[in-house]
Amino acid sequence: MNPIPVFTTPGARAPHTIRLDARAVVDAHGVQAAPGSLLLRVGAAGCEVLAAGAPGLVDQHPGSVGAPQIDLPDSVLTPGHVNAHTHLDLTHIGPRGYDPADGFDSWLAMILRERLHEEGAIRESVRLGVALSIAGGVVAVGDIAGVGRVEAALELRASPLLGVSYVELFGVGDRQATVLRDAAAMLDRVGVGDANRVRIGLSPHAPFTAGSRLYAGVCELSARTGAPLCTHLAESVEERRFIEQGDGPIRALLERFDVWSDAILDDVGAGAHPVAHLEPSLRAAHWLLAHVNDCPDGALPMLASTAADVVVCPRGWAYFGRGETVGRHRWRDMLDAGVNVALGTDSVVNLPREGPARIATLDEARCLRERDGADARTLLRMITTNGARALGLQPSLFMFDPGPIAGVVRVAVGDSSDSDPLAMLMDTGTEIETLALGSLVGERLRGALEG
């Protein structure tokens, strides 16, 4: 996996206007034209949509006169995509298989063995993850930065991507107060950051590795600092058993890692489902919840009554065989109940070994379409504006309405016979190219602007 997307500013003369004529132009909120055109202005302040839609409509904008033009007759253009849950500091590991016969312990041991600890190496892994993300059309991420360390977060801040880098926190039993103090000191040291670029947030890992006092404490810390919050929740039947009963494979895992103490039983074993277990914290702050694979009827209305967003990782769900253990994912029911649901890739470890070198939520959307027959417009919303809302970004940055836009993506659809641009996007072609990303342009646009 070694893509090298090259992005530069389009030269000292700014702003530049450029027109793209494509097989289709489409976003999730009303722009849909086949054929379609897109008129952009790119400069030091970023990328701006001047006009989008049918070619005749774009012709009417005065900026079209004399603008350099690129013909993309085999491509659909979309706004940049959002990956609302990933682990870029694990990119160096690459895709690995998962054998249920070996169990989760074996997989986790591999992750711990391969995880990097040297600052430069961590930053390099994140840089590779950023490159793979851009190669996959992703311009904003919700990244889990690693355990209590900021190197991954600072590297993401140095990249052209938008989003949030969540520093992961582990603390159960008597360790919760210490972990919370360290998290507060870290935020005081590096700051939360700019809401329009990359913010640093906090992620208590999961309710079986983070105690209730830690969750309550980060809610208070978020209220004081504005730090966004994320956690893994209701990922497996093993998690449910541990939270409900305080025993099972997860307790055995904590004992093997020598982090078990009977004080943990103060938090778990009361018969509550993981969603109910975290309900007080879910009501105290805005949370981004990764996975929520295990969502029975009683948990769904409780989830919907909070302000929480949910990120679904379809290929990760399949990788760990969740369908055989927790059943189908209830993402549709969540959307129907009013929950904002976005898509994520999880780490590169659970992505296929074969296929293009990229980390792409469009591939997650296509997986969900193939598996569940998902509506194409809903899927595009889940990888653009829904993802933006989940990360606290402006949804308008991921639409083709006139104004600033986070990025523009080209998806090659070849000679598809489909007349529906959304169906073309979700059902056809493999090539993805990020054309513009903030104030930066890729080689294709730079060549036209400098030609």
CA distance 389 to 158: 22
CA distance 122 to 138: 20
Contact between residue 205 and residue 243 where contact means Cβ atoms under 8 Å apart: no
pTM of the predicted structure, to 2 decimals = 0.96
Contact between residue 52 and residue 36 where contact means Cβ atoms under 8 Å apart: yes
pLDDT of residue 80: 98
CA dihedral (393, 396, 402, 404) in degrees, to 10, reads 10
CA distance 271 to 265: 12
CA distance 328 to 305: 22
pLDDT of residue 428: 86
Query: Do strands 287-291 and 229-233 pair parallel, antiparallel, or not at all (unpaired)?
Result: parallel
CA dihedral (414, 419, 420, 425) in degrees, to 10, reads 0
Domains of the chain: 81-395 (3.20.20.140)
> One-letter amino acid identity for 165?
S
CA distance 251 to 240: 12
Contact between residue 317 and residue 329 where contact means Cβ atoms under 8 Å apart: yes
pLDDT (tens, 9 = 90+) of the chain, 451 residues, equals 444 466 666 655 568 999 999 999 999 998 999 999 999 999 888 999 999 999 999 999 999 999 999 999 999 999 999 999 999 999 999 999 888 888 788 888 899 899 999 999 999 999 999 999 999 999 999 999 988 789 999 999 999 999 999 999 999 988 999 999 999 999 999 999 988 899 999 999 999 999 999 999 999 999 999 999 999 999 999 999 999 999 999 999 899 888 898 989 999 999 999 999 999 999 999 999 999 999 999 999 999 999 999 999 999 999 998 988 899 999 999 999 999 999 999 999 999 998 889 999 999 999 999 999 999 999 999 999 999 999 999 999 999 999 999 999 999 998 877 889 999 999 987 899 999 999 888 888 888 887 6
Instruction: Write a three-state SS string for 167-230.
Output: EEECECHHHHHHHHHHHHHHHHHHCCCCCCCEEEEEEECCCCCECHHHHHHHHHHHHHHCCCEE
CA distance 444 to 56: 24
Cis peptide before 35 (omega within 30 of 0): yes
Burial class (CB in 10 A: 0-12, 13-18, 19+), 224: exposed
Contact between residue 309 and residue 288 where contact means Cβ atoms under 8 Å apart: yes
309 C-beta neighbours (distance < 10 Å), count = 24
Q: Which residue from 21, 50, 49, 48 is spatially nearest to 33, judged by alpha carbons?
A: 21
* 138-to-105, 162, 231, 380, 435 alpha-carbon distances in Å: 31, 10, 22, 13, 11
